[in-house]
A = this chain, B = another copy of it.
Amino acid sequence: MQAARRLNYHPNAMAQGLVRRHTNTVGLLFLHSHRPVHTSPSFVLMLDGVLEKATQLRQDTLMYTSYSWSDGRRHISSLLDRRCDGLILVVPRLDNEAVPALREHGIPFVLLAGQSEDPAISTVDTDNRGAAGALVHHLIDLGHRRIAFLHGRGEENYSYCRDRLAGYQRAHAERGLACDPGLRVMVDSLEEQVASLMGLPASQRPTAVFGLDDGMALRTMGALQRLGWRVPEDVSVVGYDDIPGAATSWPGLTTVRQPLKQIGECCVEVLLGQIAKEVAPGQKIILPTELVVRGSLAPPR
C-alpha cells in the first residue's frame, strides 16, 4: 500500500472490469428523434437525481446519445459492449428500438418517464393521464369550456404526450363536453399559431391554454403577452412539470408538480436492484404529483 502510494499507482478500471464482470457504471440513454430531450429544463432535475443517487451508491454514469446516428445498428451495438451494468432510458420514444435489443441480451434497464405494456419492463413515471385530467377538471370547475392543448411537433411519439392528451380528453368526456379538435395545436411556429387561436371569434376562442409542459406553457404566456393579451384576465395558462421558471415567471404558472429529481433517484435504485438481482424486472413505479395553483389561472371573463 505504501509502495502503491509512493509510485502513484491507480488501478486500471478496464482490467478490473474485465475480470470482475461488472463496472459499477450506469448508462444513460437518450433516444431523442428530433429535439434533444436533455435540452429541456425538466431534464436537468431528473439528471440531478440520477447523478446524486448514482454517486451516493458509488456508480459512474455513462451517457449514450442517438444524435444523428444514421446507423441504428452501430448505435444499439454500443449499448451491448458491457461498459455499464445496466441502462436508464431517458424519456424514450414509444417506438424506440433499444428496448427489444436490451431485452434480448438480458441487459437490465429501466424507463425513466416512459411507459411500456410489457409487464417485464420496469418504469418510473407519474400518472400523466390522471394528473392532466385533474388539472383540466379544475379548469372546467372554474368555468372554462374552451381549453386549447399545445404540444410540439414529434412529441406525440412519447408516452407523456399521449397520456396527458388522453387525460385532457377524458376530463372533457367525463363532464359531457365536446373536445374541439381545432383547439389541439401541434406547434411549429408558436407566435403565429397563438395569434391565430386568439384571432378566432369570441365564441370559439380559447379561454385557457394547457401547454404540454411548462416550457411550452411559459413560451405561450410570453407570446400572448407580446400580442397584448393579459394573463390570466384574458386567458389562463397552465403547464406540467413545475420547473423552476414556473414559479418565477410573471404571473406565476399554474402547473402539475412532478417530483423530477426523485424520478431520477428512483430509477437508479430500481436499476441497481435489478442488476443485483434483488428485485425482479417489471417494477411499475408511479410517483405522486401535486396541483400547484399560481397567478396564471383565473375564471374566464
Contact = CB atoms under 8 A, between A and B. Distances in A.
A17 interface: yes
B82 A12 contact: yes
A118 to B, nearest CB: 20
Number of identical protomers: 2
A12 B64 CA distance: 16
Given A15-B18, A63-B62, A48 B55 contact: no
Contacts of A215: 244
A78 interface: yes
A199 B39 CA distance: 39
Interface string A9-41: 011111111100001010000100000101111
Interface stretch (A92-100, A134-142, A218-226, A266-274): A218-226
Contact of A62 (B18, B62, B78, B219): B62
A248 interface: yes
Contacts of A13: 78, 81-83
Nearest to A63: B61
Interface in A70-94: 77-78, 80-83
A249 interface: yes
State which size class the interface on A falls in: 35 or more
A39 B48 contact: yes
Contacts of A30: 51
Most buried by B among A18, A40, A77: A18
A258 to B, nearest CB: 16
B250 A225 contact: yes
B65 A51 contact: yes
Contacts of A12: 18, 81-82
25 contacts: A8-B105, A10-B77, A12-B81, A12-B82, A13-B81, A14-B14, A25-B62, A38-B44, A38-B51, A40-B44, A41-B41, A41-B245, A44-B44, A52-B67, A55-B68, A56-B68, A60-B63, A60-B83, A62-B63, A215-B244, A219-B248, A222-B247, A222-B248, A225-B250, A249-B249
Interface of A: 8, 10-18, 23, 25, 30, 36, 38-41, 43-45, 47-48, 51-52, 55-56, 60-65, 67-69, 77-78, 80-83, 104-105, 215, 218-219, 221-222, 225, 244-245, 247-250
Which 9 residue pairs are nearest across A and B when measured between Cβ atoms? A13-B81, A222-B248, A55-B67, A10-B80, A14-B17, A61-B63, A13-B83, A14-B18, A225-B250
